[in-house]
Structure 1
Amino acid sequence: MTKTSRRSVLGLGLATGLGLTASACGLSDALNEGAEHVLLGGHQLAAGTPFDKGLTKFGELVAEKTSGRVRVDVHPNAALGTETEMFQGLITGTLDIGIFAPGSIAEFSPEMSILSMPFLVIDRDQRDGLLSGGIAERLVGLLTERTKTLPLTYFGGSFRQMFFTQPATRLDDIRGRLFRVQPSAVLTDSFAAAVGVQPSVVAYNELYNALQQGVVDGADNEPVFIDSQKFYEPAPHILQTNHEVTIRPLIISQRTLDKLGPELGALVMEAGAEAGEYQRRHEAEIDDSILGDLAGRDGIVVTPVDTAPVLDSVQPVWQRYAEQWGIPDVLEQIIDLRPGS
C-alpha cells in the first residue's frame, strides 16, 4: 500500500478494534526510512515459528531487492484476524499479503482445498512435483480469476499429525470423537469418511481453549505448531498419521501488485519465490526433530499408526469433490505423483 492508503486502512479497515496504531505497529519507523510502499502482512501463528520466519525473510528480501522502496510489516499470531478475515482483506485491499491454509479460503476458491485433502499429498517429493508443474498453475489461475489475488510462493512442508485429549493408539480409538477442522466441506467429509471422527469447525486461535474445555476432543497440526501453541498440554496423545504434507500459499492482493507497478512488482514476486525455498527447507529440517522432542517429554505419548487402510474410504470423497469442482484430471495427476504410483 502507498503511505496514503496505509493510513486509510488503519483508520477504517482491518486494524479497527485491534488497538493497532502506526506507532504500535512499527509503521512510523518504516515510513521514516523512506519506503514508498509499506505492505501489511499477516499470519495466524506465533512469532518465531517457521511461517513467521518465512514471512520475515520475505520482508528482508523485498527491502534488499527494492533498495528500501518497499517494506513489509509482519503481524503474527492472528493479530489481523482469522485467515478467512485476512483473505477478505486481500480481496478488498485492506491487507496486502498473508499466509493461508487452503481450507481457510475454500469459500472463495474451493478448488484450492485439493492441496490439503487428508491422506492425498503425503510425500515431499510429491508436493514438489505438484507445485512445480501445471497442477499449481491451474489452481492459481482459478484463484486469481475469482479473487484477484495471486500466490507468490508456498510455505509448509511439515507432516500433519493428529492429537487428542484422551488416550488413542490406533485409528479405531478415535471413531466418534469431536475433531476440529478448518472451515472446508472437503476436510469435514474426508476426516469423517477416513477415520470416523465427528468434524467440528473451530477457529485456530480458539483451539487451545476448545481442547481444554472439551468443546472438541482432538485436532491435527504440524509438530512445530503442536509445540509452539502448546496443544500438547490439553491434548498429549499424538497419533503419527503423516496424513498431509502441508502446502500453505503466501498470497498477495492483485491491488497491491497494481499499485507497486511492473518493476517493483517483479522484485516482490522474485523475493516471494526465494522466501518460499528458504521457508520450506527450514520447516522440513525441524519437523522430525520436534516430533522426536515431543515424544521424549513426560506425559506426551506419540504413537505411529498405519493409515493405508483408510484410502478405500477417503478416495471416493476426493473423487466426488474433484468432479464437483471440474478438476478430476488434477486429482488424477496428484495421485499419480504419490510414492509407489
Structure 2
Amino acid sequence: MKKKIFIPLLLAVVILFVGACGKTDGNTQQSANQQQDGSYTLKIHMVISEQDPVYLGYAEFKKGVEARTNGKVKVELYPNGVLGSDEDLLQQAMLGGNVAVNSDAGRLGVWVPEIGILLAPYLTDSVEEMQKLVKSDLVKKWTDKLAKEKGLTVLSFNYYTGERHFVTKKPITKPEDLQGLKIRTPGSPVWQETVKAFGATPVALPWTETYPALEQGVIDGAEAQHPATYSARLYEVAKYITKTGHIQLWNCLVVGTKWFEQLPKEYQQILLEESLKAGDFTTNKLLSTAKELENNMTAAGAQISEIDKEPFKKLADAVYTKLNYQELRQEVNKVLGK
C-alpha cells in the first residue's frame, strides 16, 4: 500500500520540478534583472571621480529616474573604476547585465566606425554645433546600428567633458614641438591618428596609469580635458598645458540592449529622457566651471597657454584621409548647415 502511494507522489514531484524548470528557463532574463518587488537596479560604471561634472550629471540622472519611476528603477553610481575596466563592463552590458558604462565615440567607434568621427580633430567649431550634431538623426542612425549589431544602447550622447589639450613636461607652441614626444592617449584609431598627425608618438595607457607614467618618465605628456587633468592632478608631474582644443570630448551613457528592452516601455522612455536632461546639466556645469579649474591649476603651478590653432588644424586633415572620414565629414557638415 505504501508503495502505491509513493509512486504517484514521486511522479507529482517530478512534474512540479520539470514545470518549475521550464518556467525558470522562460524567464531567465527577467529573474536575473527584476527584483521580487518588481524593481530594477542599474549600476553605472565610470573611471572619473566624484568631482567630475559627468559624475554630477549621473547623480542628476539617478535622482530623476528614481523619482519618476517611484523607485522601481534604482540607479547606483560607481566612480573611480571600482567595477573594473570599461571593456569588461561593456562586455557585461552586451550579455544583458544590469550595468551601464560612461563611454565615448572612440570606444564605440571600434564597433561602428561611423561613430568614431565624433572624436575627429576640429570636427566642429563650437559647443553649440557639437550639441546639434550629437542630438541629430545622423548620430541616432549610428547608435541604432550599435544597438542592433552589438547589443549596446546609447541613452544619450550629450555629456560634454571639455576640449582636449596637451599636458606636457615641456612647453608646446607649435606642432613641431611635439616631434618625438610620447603622448598618452586612448587606444582607439581616431585618438591615435590625431596624435600621430601632430608629430608625436601615441602611447595607449589606462587613464589611471597616466600619472605614474608621467612621474617615472615612461611618457612625455598626455592629452586630456581640464576636468580630467585637474582631478588626476596631472599638472603636478607635467605642468605645461597647451590649449590646442583639438578634440571636443562628448561622453555617452551606454546600457545593454537586452537589459534595456526588458524594462517596461514607460521606464525605457524615462531613462532616455533623464539621460538627455543629465547630459545638458553636465554640459552647462562644465562650461560654468572651466575658468575656475584653470585658475586652480594655475595657482598650483601649472602654466596654461593659448596658442595659434591653425597649424594644428591643417595637420588634422590627414586624420580624415587616413580613416576614410571624408564622406562622413560631408554628412556632418550637412547636418550643421555648412
Shared fold (TM-score greater than 0.5)? yes
Q: How far does the alpha carbon of each residue in 1:57-83 deviate from its partner, in whole angstroms, 9 at most, with x for none?
A: 111111011011110111001112222
Amino acid at match of 2:32: S
Describe how 1:1-341 pairs up with structure 2 within 5 A: 4-5=31-32, 36-153=39-156, 154-193=158-197, 195-295=198-298, 297-323=299-325, 328-335=326-333
Identify the residue that residue 25 of structure 2 maps to in structure 1. Answer: none
TM-score normalised by L of structure 2: 0.84
**How many Å separate the matches in 2 of 1:35 and 1:207?**
43
In structure 1, what residue type is equivalent to 2:232? Q
Question: CA shift at 1:288, angstroms?
Answer: 2.9
- TM-superposition CA deviations, 1:40-67 (whole Å, max 9, x none): 1111101131111111111111101101
2:12: which partner in 1?
A: none
Verify the 8 A CA contact 2:41 2:98 in the aligned structure 1. no
Distance 1:262 1:6 in 2: 16
Amino acid paired to 1:181: T
Unmatched segments (≥5 aa) in structure 2? 1-27
Q: CA deviation at 1:224?
A: 1.4
d(CA) in 2 for partners of 1:3, 1:205: 35
1:231: Cα distance to partner? 0.9
Which stretch shifts more, 66-75 or 95-104?
Answer: 95-104
SS of equivalent residue, structure 2 residue 305: strand
Distance 2:79 2:144 in 1: 28
Cα deviation code 1:279-306 (max 9, x no counterpart) = 11112211233123323x2531111111
- The code of the aligned residue for 1:121 comes to T
CA distance, structure 1, for counterparts of residue 38 and residue 221 of structure 2: 45
Structure 1: gaps (5+ residues): 8-30
SS in 2 for 1:99: strand
SS of the counterpart of 1:244? Answer: strand
Q: For the residues of structure 1 that align with 2:76 and 2:31, how far apart are their CA atoms?
A: 16
Number of equivalences: 310
Is residue 165–residue 235 contact of structure 1 (8 Å, CA) maintained in 2?
yes
| Separation in 2, partners of 1:165, 1:43 | 28
* CA-CA distance at 1:104 after TM superposition: 2.6
- Structure number with bigger Rg: 2
Question: Is contact 1:150–1:254 with CA below 8 Å preserved after alignment?
Answer: yes
Identity %: 20
Shift of 1:221: 1.2
SS at match of 2:292: helix
- 1-structure distance, mates of 2:82, 2:123: 31
CA deviation map 1:70-104 (0-9, x unaligned): 10111001112222222222112234211112223
Q: Which amino acid aligns with 1:317?
A: V
Q: TM-score normalised to the size of structure 1?
A: 0.83
Residue 90 to residue 158, structure 1, CA distance change in 2 (3 Å): same
Output one character per residue of 1:294-336: Cα deviation in whole Å (capped at 9) or x when no partner. 23x253111111121233322132134235xxxx443113346
State the alpha-carbon separation in 2 of the partners of residues 320 and 138 from structure 1: 23
Structure 1 contact 3–38 (Cα < 8 Å) conserved: no
Moved more, 330-339 or 96-105: 330-339
Secondary structure in 1 matching 2:235: coil
* Root-mean-square deviation (Å): 2.5
Summarize deviations over 1:171-201 as a string: whole Å, max 9, x none. Answer: 32221100111111222122211x1000110
Deviation of the 1:37 alpha carbon: 0.6
Report if aligned partners of 1:319, 1:331 keep a CA contact under 8 Å in 2. Answer: no
Secondary structure class of the residue paired with 1:79:
coil
